[in-house]
Structure 1
């Protein structure tokens, strides 16, 4: 076994952190009733100099900045509550903006630094593409088939790119809305089960955000980072990363490269993950894991309680330990 995999048990627990699109109104209000959650919300209020419980309204969540900060706050609050009750991860992975929650969970950076960077990330993204761009999702086509359709309809005026490979047949595309609409109109006749525009106003995870990635890189270079306590599955190359420099690089570059989520979680499974616990908000990632790995257990904290997570964790640990 290589150094990168040292410390990973044969039957392990992976914490998953969702990305933009998983946000829900009242997501911060609906976090578990736990001291660690309350303390994290208070800390976030102090760091941002505002009441974060005013951030999770439907209107405020139209902002990329607010969504990304809310997801980070929710993820870190949930992790702290779980850890306080003895539920600890052996592996972590975060989808897109969720990668920052995963990095905090792994000990690569502290919450204060992550919140500052995530706020900047959202600001840079909103500034780069104020309108006319976004993302869409296609279900029922594989990557190569969808890529060939994109090649047919993408142009300099209406660019479209593969963005997130969430599963072998659930793929998100990114680019100009006009170009995305052309692709989505075509995929049904090519065998897609479903296709729609997502409620996202920025063309994430494609070369259109290269300038944002470069600006973000300058900020991330100044991070007081530490070596991760557990392996972190990279978004961009779907490798288990145990070096802080590689994780910072992934956080920097993934914004302008496709998220290979299915490959990343497959790596976690290969490393022994048999319990996947998804941080708030939503259950998209746990649903994907359940579909991809039928022999693993999945749990979305948004749909359960800290107590339920503890019981499931202890049961798995007792069964497999």
Structure 2
């Protein structure tokens, strides 16, 4: 069995999609459709920067999605590999869950772009700049990370935001609490704590205003039936009902990204191969979660051609 997986925020970089657009009409059509949906020259920012504009959450989220969907469209339209024939399920990391739903037909490309633009704006607006922060704990498992979060909170929000793999957990919350956590890592047997260059504290209770905004948006644009099962971030379990997925997407804004458990759940269901489309971030994580899993990261035309040969 094979899963197609889609990266989250942090995988953006200036120049993303340029090679694909130069080589493929299908890719150019994706980037144009996203630009039209957002009434914005997003592909220009993806191609040329400036980097600080691409890093803005409201731009990074639709850009990462557009890049991954462009890779998928080239695979489907030019290599003749249909998602439903090549994959048994899909999953995505944080915003990547929306990309996975777009890939599986639950949202149109234009609606996915607009939802992610709104999600980025709402997440940024939920907390004043400087009030929140996030840190990566290296050499930490979930148990150690949770103990550190509890010790550092002191009445403020300090929560596990991402359980990425057995060696990397991310905390999110009030800046002071996150700074306390970084200072206390050694006492909790954790190798290192690193403040992340993010503009808001994602996936913690401080994001409730953004969750409310997404609840309203998803009432107007609910997911339709999807062609493949999806593994949801907040449950690390398979979802097949659009109504359930709609609720989980709202919970996901404040909830933990249970990526490690999601990968283990897919493995337990029989997935042997993971194909990451549009990035090279999830592949190394999956390798640390289960070294026996086969992982392929697909970004360039050469990657697409190699994958098409393998699947055909």
Give the TM-score normalised by structure 1: 0.88
Does residue 285 of structure 1 match 2:275? no
> Is contact 1:37-1:78 (8 Å) kept?
yes
Aligned to 1:95: 93
> Is contact 2:223-2:245 (8 Å) kept?
no
1:177 positional shift: 2.3
1:225 positional shift: 3.0
- Give per-residue Cα distances to partners, 1:133-157, cap 9 Å, x unaligned: 221111212212221121111133x
Aligned to 2:236: 238
Aligned to 2:185: 187
Three-state SS of the structure 2 residue aligned to 1:96 is coil
1:29 positional shift: 2.1
Q: CA–CA distance in 2 between the matches of 1:48 and 1:73?
A: 12
Three-state SS of the structure 2 residue aligned to 1:199 is coil
Three-state SS of the structure 2 residue aligned to 1:107 is coil
Q: RMSD of the alignment, in Å?
A: 1.7
Aligned to 2:160: 162
Aligned to 2:299: 302
1:30 positional shift: 4.3
Does residue 118 of structure 1 match 2:116? yes
1:224 positional shift: 4.8
Three-state SS of the structure 2 residue aligned to 1:273 is coil
Does residue 75 of structure 1 match 2:65? no
Aligned to 2:141: 142
Question: Which stretches in structure 2 are left out of the alignment for 5+ residues?
Answer: none
> Is contact 2:7-2:282 (8 Å) kept?
yes
Aligned length: 301
> Is contact 2:218-2:246 (8 Å) kept?
yes
> Is contact 1:87-1:310 (8 Å) kept?
no
> Is contact 1:21-1:199 (8 Å) kept?
no
Aligned to 2:6: 17
Three-state SS of the structure 1 residue aligned to 2:151 is helix
Q: CA–CA distance in 2 between the matches of 1:309 and 1:296?
A: 16
In the superposition, relative to structure 1, how do residues 224 and 183 fare at CA in structure 2: closer, same or farther (>3 Å)?
A: closer
Three-state SS of the structure 2 residue aligned to 1:114 is helix
In the superposition, relative to structure 1, how do residues 90 and 127 fare at CA in structure 2: closer, same or farther (>3 Å)?
A: same
Q: CA–CA distance in 1 between the matches of 2:73 and 2:24?
A: 9
In the superposition, relative to structure 1, how do residues 131 and 152 fare at CA in structure 2: closer, same or farther (>3 Å)?
A: same
Does residue 49 of structure 1 match 2:47? no
Q: CA–CA distance in 2 between the matches of 1:224 and 1:145?
A: 37
> Is contact 1:138-1:196 (8 Å) kept?
yes
1:233 positional shift: 0.2
Three-state SS of the structure 2 residue aligned to 1:163 is strand
Does residue 38 of structure 1 match 2:24? no
Question: Which stretches in structure 1 are left out of the alignment for 5+ residues?
Answer: 1-11, 315-321
